[in-house]
Structure formats: structure tokens, C-alpha cells
Structure 1
């Protein structure tokens, strides 16, 4: 989307706008994770470490206790590594509110069957002297599945007893009956190993002190960001339960960023959907005392994949800059010849987690004063646009200098399009979920843009597509968006 200057598109209703700086800001301490004591870091992942050790030990020792031929040590190591990779890909090591070895039995059995079937076929094809028969295969699958589930059951039971004695501090975010009943459930159900140390109610709708009375009245209610920050640090809060979606209000979106900066694990609790079709159930449902629980992520769900995304940005942006250097020179010469000095257009935009940066573009409009440039919306057909500017807009060549922003780390190739602080403040106050689109790096192109949401189009639709991109992000999705963007360039559909 290109926005240098022009008139603001009409909105459905009149709204009193806050100053641009009042809505967009970074969480205290930045967006990094706050440093934790080593003992706490180990404690938070102790169960995962024990599960990995148990699975690796079981997978490595199963061939030794079964009727299989004497295999080389390398086969035992490969078996252990394969099981760990399969279990990790299935999410069997992810943090959960409720764990059950019986519920995980089908997944463990299926993955073990796959692992041993591939092993048997590989040995039969490449090392016939180590081949195993069907009887040996099914015995090994049964032994490994049994030992894995027993080990998990023992670890889960021991973990539950330990958590009941030393419950982990948790915050409950919400202002309705669901938030209060969740707080009560945590107090009464020690088996979850969670202790509510505060209920966050930032909305004025829950400002009535009478709402704090009742079964959950012993839990303090936190009403400001400062109180939340102090409680997280003092109580060493590591878990947060949202009873309403973080994108529902700007306050919750801002709170989500703050808690993510503290390294908290966050879940969204929802009441049972009585009319939901069975086929719409999540593949590995989690729950807390009958309430559906979904893990929330702060845009960094797959750290390794995000590192690959950054590497892909650097490689592709560098290659694109080299390949497009003749086009860059030609565009710069044309702009200088037609519109005079000032080839590049610099403008402050808002990036990931509200961090401002300077965006670069080729100038397509005749110079305007800084205030107008920062607060007026661009529409097609502006009379101040020169013939060269219209050509650059139509072909999207005016966006090429943003490849430098990608190399600097201000932007990504794919992500929500960045906007100016004035409009971020305005749109965040009008459109629910708009501020949530800043959870990931902004991009030159995005899912909204390849679906035709460019230029003077619906802000609400763009925010919805941007948040969907973040919630379903994958490296493959980035590749698809880039491919669709390249194809769209041949249709000259720039804005």
C-alpha cells in the first residue's frame, strides 16, 4: 500500500482520535524476553527434558530387549533420534494445561508403527542380514509403545503431585463471569498446579468493586499495566490465561505484547461450543476444568523457522537488489528528471511491536509538507502525481528501495504492510484487531495485498487478513505469497 498524501477515506462513524503516540508503543523493557534465573529456566522445561530422555531411552533400548537381530549401535541411535523427531513434530513435548498418557496413546502408537515400518523396510532393502519379520516388528511396536506410555504416565503423575505442592503462579485476564469462574476453578482444583495471583481487568466495564466479591474474591484485581508488570516480576508469573481474545480490544492487545515480553506462556480459554461440529475439533485439544484451551503465540511460534525466514529475506533481498540495480538507476534518473531533487521519499512507519522506522520509496508525488505527508491518506488519481509517478505506482517499482529496509532488518519481504503512526493510532481505536497485526515483522507484500487489499480498500479486511497470516504463519506461506506477488506484477496492479 502506498500512502504519501491525499484525503482520508471516509469511515462509518465519527470518532474522536487520540494522539498518535497514545496508542502505539513498545512494551516496557522492549520486546525481548526478560532474563530469568537459570534455575527457573530449567524448572520450566524440566518435564520436557524428562520426556525427551525417557522417549530416547525407550526407543534406543527396545531393539535390545526384543527378538530382533543384533544391530549395530548406529541403528539404536537412529531409532532414538527418529522417535524424538516424530514426537516433536506431533507436539508431544509442547506445554499443556492438562496431560494424560492415555489420551496420547493413539498418537504414540501411530508414530511408533511408522517409525518401525520405515526401519524394517530400510533394513530389508539395504542391509538384508539385519532384516526383521512381521512378528518381530509388531512385538517391537508393542513393547516400545507400552514403555513410552508407562514412562509418560509416571512422569505426568509425579509432575502433578509436585505441581500441587508447589503451584505455578498464573494471571487470569478478563472481566466477565468466565474469568471469575476460572479463578475459582484454579483455587479449587490443585491437580492443575496453577495458582491465580491476580485477575487482570483493564476495561472500565469491570470497574465495579462488587464484581470482585464472591467465590473468587480473594484474588486481587489488577487494573493498570504497571500493576500487571509489578505482579509478573514479583510473583514470577510464567503462565497467563486469557478469557477473551487478545485482539478483541486495544488494551488486551497491548497487554499481550507486555506479557510476551516477559516470556509468559499464554492460553485462550473458551466455554464449550455446544453446537460445534465434531470435525471442527482441534487435533490435540487441551482443556482446563471443562473449558477449551488454545495456546497463544506472540508471533514466534517456530524460532528456527523464523531464523530461516530472516535468512531468506537477506538472501532474496540481496539478490533482488543486484538484479534490479539497472531498474533502480533508471527509476531514480526518471524521478530526478521529471520531479527534480529528492528522488527518495522517507517516511516514519510503525514496525513490529510498535517500533518506528524510516521507510524508503521512490517519490511519486510532488513534495508536500511533513505534516500533510504524515496525516493525509493517499488515493488513486491525485493530480499532483506526475506521469513518472503514475507509472511507478502502477508497476509497484516505487517500492523497490524497501529492499534496503529488508536488509536493515526494519521489514521482511512478507508481512503486514507498515502504516504511519497517525493512522495506526486511528485504526487501532476504530478496528478491533488492527494493533494485533504488529506481532510480526512488517513486509513489502502480504496476504492482504495478494488478495487485492491494496490502496484505498477496507482497513478492517486488511487487518483480518494480516492477523490470519500471523496465526497461520509458515515459511511455505511466505513462498506462496511471494510467488503470487511476482505474478501480480505482470498485471501492473500497483497502488
Structure 2
């Protein structure tokens, strides 16, 4: 079987990236100056372009090492690769433009540079995706395996084994378990690899089998054994990974921090806690909401007239909702019901065929057009385009006692649409399922994730059977 040699694979990836960049350079040069499809006026010879292309290529490699693009990638998802490729080539391109500006090189074709950047990104994503697919198929067939030993046959070790078996494309094979308190699995777990010894048999097991990684899945009371286990593994060159016995309390991607010189596990690491991420999301919110307001202004004007003609009362309906950091704000909507006591609206759910609705309001709610004024909430900073839907304080007080982790949603700005809503969790649906989707979004936020949710919202349409 093919054994993984990370240093060798890293060198292969570096050479492949350089080759890909060279091919994209030649393709871009041909498309701009040789294909006849574009204006081919050129005052510089090929060697000048080749010089800057070479600088760009090596800069991309160096930046790739800096942002850990060439770190072990067996457990990385395709979306991780795409983000890293965009990051590497975006920074490399900005660096190239800076050098061209400083050196006063003004005769390089801007169209060529744009084509070169796009071709690099597309070409790199395509070839990395192909490589990942080929490696996944090889691993499913038994090649390029990594061999794992699990210490602890309790609930943590069994959970890890079951999860690992659901991903054969990762290419991991479990040799067996070591456990001090049982020598065989219970009947319902008989499908698992056998328990081949106790923790004291670790030395002999490492010598007998070719093991790449040892997974420590022991209970908290066994923490005194960790130092000896890790020392034995490191002496034989085997990697050690620890699954904490309290892993079910941790987020999907726990973050290790450092405080007063000591390592700490951040139980709820939120990407939007980083200033750069918050600024990016806020800038997008402002730009998107301005465009949305301009494009939908004729619709909002028509709705304004329709509400005035069909029922007495104000056009806009404002309601107190709980937002970022548990602070309340007034969320705006087009009024879709007859005017009533505000305390009723704040403490009563909307139900199917609700008698409080106007006929025009029913249409607005079914098409979600009543939500359009919330783009002004986004401009004011109360809300975001994408995020967990805000709830009324009256119901928040109930849910926070009944539903675990409900208040986590208030760590970020609420949104007009969200991951829960695009998965059909709107109206009379499970609050627990909504919170689980909201927490997944909060812990896994990326700018591309926001774009995905927006595209999914538009693609699914605004009509929703639960919107009443």
C-alpha cells in the first residue's frame, strides 16, 4: 500500500502549483495576444511578462506556506481549499500590483493581468478538486491508508469509530482498541474492531503494528496517564490526538486560546468575533441593503399605497425584538394585520387563517414582501442581511429556560434570512431545530456561507407555506 509521506506530497503540490500557474500564464498570454479574440497591441516582449509571472508564481508559493495552504489536507473539505486558493491568489495579485506600481511598470496589459488572475483561480480550483477526488477514490479502494489506534473503548472511543467509518474517503483504518476495563465489546458493538489489549500494552502494540496516529479517548479520571501515553507515542514518531471526555459540550470547531501563558479551550469560538470578519460582513450588509432598497423601492411604494387603500392605520408596523448582545430594538415590517393592542401582538403567535390579518396583508406575508422594511434595520445596524431571526422578548424569556443554548443566537446580529429559514424552518416549525441551525451558522460563518444562504433564499423563492 502507498504510505503517506507529507513532505514528499508537499513538494509535489508546490511543483504542481507552479506548473499550473505557468500553464495559466501561457494560456492568458495566448488569449490576450495570440488568439485574435482580443486587442493584441503589445509594447513589451514575452520575456517581460514571463518575469512578472514568475515573481507572481513564487509569491503565491510563499504566501501559501504562510497561510498554511500546504499543511496536511486529508481532513480538509473542498470549501477550505477554495477559500485558501482565493486568499493566496488575492494576496499574490495585490502584491504584484504593488510591485508594478513601485517599479513604475505601466506598459503591462491590465486585461492580461485580469485574465491571468481569473485563470489562476479557476485552474487551481479545478486541478485541486480533481486531485482530491482521485485521492478519495484511491482511499476507498484501500490505497494511501492511515492506520489508527484508539485508546479507550467507552462511549467516546466508540463514537469516534462510528463517525470515522462514515467517511471512508478520508482513508483511515482502525487497527483496534486498547482499554483497561473491558477485553471485548458488548454485543451491540460487535461490528467494531477488537480490543487488542490494555493501555499498558501500548509499547508492544506500537512495535507490532504500523500505526500512524493514536487517538486518546479516555475518561477524565484517566488524565494522569496522558503524559506517559504521549511520551511513548512521540518516542516512536506516532502522532497523538486527544478527544476530551466533554467533547459533546464543545462546538463543532473548538478554538484553543492562550490566557496568562496557559492554553485554554474556547468553548464557543465565533468567527464574527474577529474585527476583520465583522467589518467585512458589515460592509456587505450596507452595500447589499442599499442596492435592495433601490431595486425594491417601486414595490415598496406599491405596497404603501395598497395598505393605505385596504385598511385604516399606519403603513409600517414596528415590534420590539431582541438582537445582538441581548439588546432590544424595533424591527420594522409592512403592516399586514388590523390595528390592535400592541401587547397582544407582542405575546401572541400568528396562526394559520389568523383573523387579525387583512386580505392584502395575507398576500404580503405569503410572499415575504412585508419583510422589505427590515433592510432599513440593516442600514441602522440593528440587523444583518443573514443571521438568526430575532424573536420578541416575551418569547425569549420562555425559550431560554426551555431550550438549551437558545441564547447563543444573540452573540451576532439577527438577520432578514438565515440558515434555518433556507432549510424550511420558518413559521410553525421546531424551535429546537432552528436553534441547532442557527448555532451551526454562528460557529461556521464565512463570507461565502452568507452568499450561499442569500442565493439559496432567492433560488427557493420567497413563497413559504409556513409564512402566515
Output the TM-score relative to the length of structure 2.
0.48
TM-score with structure 1 setting the length: 0.45
Larger relative contact order (Cα-Cα within 8 Å, sequence gap ≥ 6): 1
